[in-house]
Structure 1
Amino acid sequence: MTPWYETSGDGPLLVLIHGWGLHSDVWDPILAELTARYRVTRIDLPGHGHSREVPVGESLADWAEAALSVAPEKASWLGWSLGGMVATRAALDAPERVERLLAVATTPRFVTGPDWPHAMAPETLEKFASELRNDFKGTVQQFLALQVQGDPQARPLLRQLREAVFRHGEPHHQVLENGLSLLGSVDLRAELPGLKPPTRVISGRLDRLTHPEAGRAMAEAIPKADYHCLQRTAHAPFLSDPEHFLELIHDFTQAG
């Protein structure tokens, strides 16, 4: 079985990869603007949304391979949060398939380490994983709340995310546990200097999940990368500041 995907619009090819626990409907508020300029392929990662019953392995490379199996032969990739890690893995493993990479509210390493302070404490992530087994819906909604914490539009954004997350039924529990496991173990930092596609890293200054300094460090490690931090957004800049977010996408994808 391959992941669900949907293609619409006309123009340069653009792939959208959502974050942990969600699905491609999360892009709905900006989809009309994107399809007016691009031929957009939205992918539901295995275990999420319309791909709820699609099996996947446990490694980040497995997730990237699943997305590559339904993506156009060559396109720009836009990945958000965990989806940004998946898109980065795809660009590392199949650079000939990724024309440009847009990594949004993402990080090469999600948890802190001795030389990596820009992240969540491992104990906090482990607590989420434990609570996920005992109170699935409550833990997912708590994670969504963290995504908007600090954002001036936190309340309506949280409502949007909560309405979206269970729209196609519950995400597959085991896949969500695998996703948290990936967030706790993946470290892409050593591979970033070998990333070939031109890359734009976009952070939200108020982000509590992926610290903006992690985004800055990621961009500095990639040879052909730039970095932008949206000042009045948290973890979902495409929802809370779509105008500036779309400007950054259009400017980058149309660059020579």
Structure 2
Amino acid sequence: MTRLVLLSGWGCDARIWQPLAPCWSAGLEVTTPDWPGYAGRPPLADPASLGELAAAMAADLPAEAIWVGWSLGGLLTTALLDHLPSPRALVLLGIGERFVHPEGVSAQALADFRHAFERSPDTAREHFLRWQLGGEPDPRRARRDLRQLLGTTAPASIETLDAGLGQLARLDNRHRLNAASCQVRRLAGARDPLLAGEVLADADQQIADAGHCPMLSRPQHLAASLAAIADTHRPDGERPEPTS
């Protein structure tokens, strides 16, 4: 059975994946572990340490699985290729080699957001959630759905969230992706407001009528796309015999 491991992004815990639950095809094992510091999981002593993160997530990210990282989750799963055995495949959802981009979210825009977070973490997080939903076909409905999933309380401590913003600012995975020993697939909502045009153009698949959160606006489409990727990476013993 092919295993998918879905990892969430900044400010959202694993509940973000719940809309996909009714959409999975048979033959898939899907897990949605939380990052350390999220949803009651103990935080790292140093929330910015990739070494500590790898040790904490090793059991959740087995080499026989396909890792699916959304947004910051994609940056982190890529960075963990330096610390953990490579998966069957790595899927980057709504993220490229890095988060900051002069034609997407600029370094200055992220720096301004970090200052706003320092002043009022709850207000800044609410602004970020609205910002990332701007490309969905019905942003108000997507915001309502997200609130129903996550509630109004931040899912992680201020220290964990602040470390995540630092990782969004600093992580640059170009060399890791160039040297990756597993296949890397890139998916993106065609209307993602956080991605530069060239990052969207580099995606292996653009999900129509979706923004940064296709798990909210196009759950069936996203689940089908991930299932199709998983099908190409089934263990050899599960592959159908070729027909003559």
Change (3 A) 1:228 1:62: farther
1:23-70 Cα shifts (integer Å, max 9, x gaps)? 111111112333744222211111211315454441445434432243
| Greater gyration radius | 2
Change (3 A) 1:159 1:37: farther
1:78 maps to 2:55? no
- State which of 132, 138, 149 in structure 2 corresponds to 1:147: 132
Cα 1:196/1:106, change in 2 over 3 Å: same
Tell me what 1:110 maps to: 99
Contact kept in structure 1, 2:25 and 2:227, CA below 8 Å: no
Q: Hey, what's the Cα distance between the residues in 2 that align with 1:189 and 1:73?
A: 21
What is the CA-CA distance between 1:72 and the residue it aligns to? 3.3
Structure 1: distance between partners of 2:128 and 2:205? 24
2:205 partner SS: strand
Letter in 1 for 2:31: T
Change (3 A) 1:25 1:194: same
How many correspondences in the alignment?
Answer: 233
Contact kept, 8 Å, 1:209 with 1:235, in 2: the verdict is yes
Aligned to 2:218: 241
Root mean square deviation, CA, Å? 2.3
Say which SS state the counterpart of residue 40 (structure 2) adopts: helix
> Aligned partners of 1:210 and 1:191: how far apart in 2?
20
- CA, structure 1 residues 44+128, in 2 after alignment: closer, same or farther (shift >3 Å)? same
**Partner of residue 188 from structure 2, selected from 194, 203, 224:** 203
For residues 144-188 of structure 1, the C-alpha deviation after alignment (integer angstroms, 9 at most, x for no partner) is: 011110321211111222333447764110111111111111111
Amino acid at match of 2:93: V
The answer (yes or no) to whether the contact 1:204–1:212 under 8 Å persists in 2 is no
Shift of 1:238: 2.1
Q: d(CA) in 2 for partners of 1:70 and 1:56? A: 19
Structure 2 gap segments, 5+ residues each: 234-244
Alignment correspondent of 2:165: 180
Match of 1:163 in 2: 148
Question: Which deviates the most, 242-251 or 160-169?
Answer: 160-169
User: RCO higher in 1 or 2 (8 Å CA, sep ≥ 6)?
Assistant: 2
Q: Does 1:133 align with 2:113?
A: no
Distance in 1 separating the partners of 2:98 and 2:126: 23
Tell which deviates more after alignment, 78-87 or 50-59: 50-59
When residues 157 and 212 of structure 1 are mapped into structure 2, their CA distance, relative to the original with a 3 A threshold, is farther
Distance 1:66 1:215 in 2: 32
CA deviation profile, 1:178-217 (whole Å, cap 9, x unmatched): 1111111111113321112112100112111133522544
Cα 1:145–1:48 change in 2 (3 A) is: same
Q: Secondary structure at the match of 2:131?
A: helix
Partner of 1:44: 34
Contact 1:65 1:90 survives alignment (8 Å): no
Which of 79, 84, 89 in structure 2 is aligned with 1:100? 89
| SS, match of residue 229 in structure 1 | strand
Partners of 1:158 and 1:31 in 2: CA distance: 19
Partner SS, residue 252 of structure 1: helix
Q: Does 1:68 align with 2:64?
A: no
Unaligned runs of 5+ in 1: 1-10, 220-226
In the aligned structure 1, how far is the partner of 2:195 from the partner of 2:138? 18
Q: Give, as a single letter, the amino acid of the residue that structure 2 aligns with 1:253.
A: A
Is the partner of 1:39 in helix, strand or coil? strand
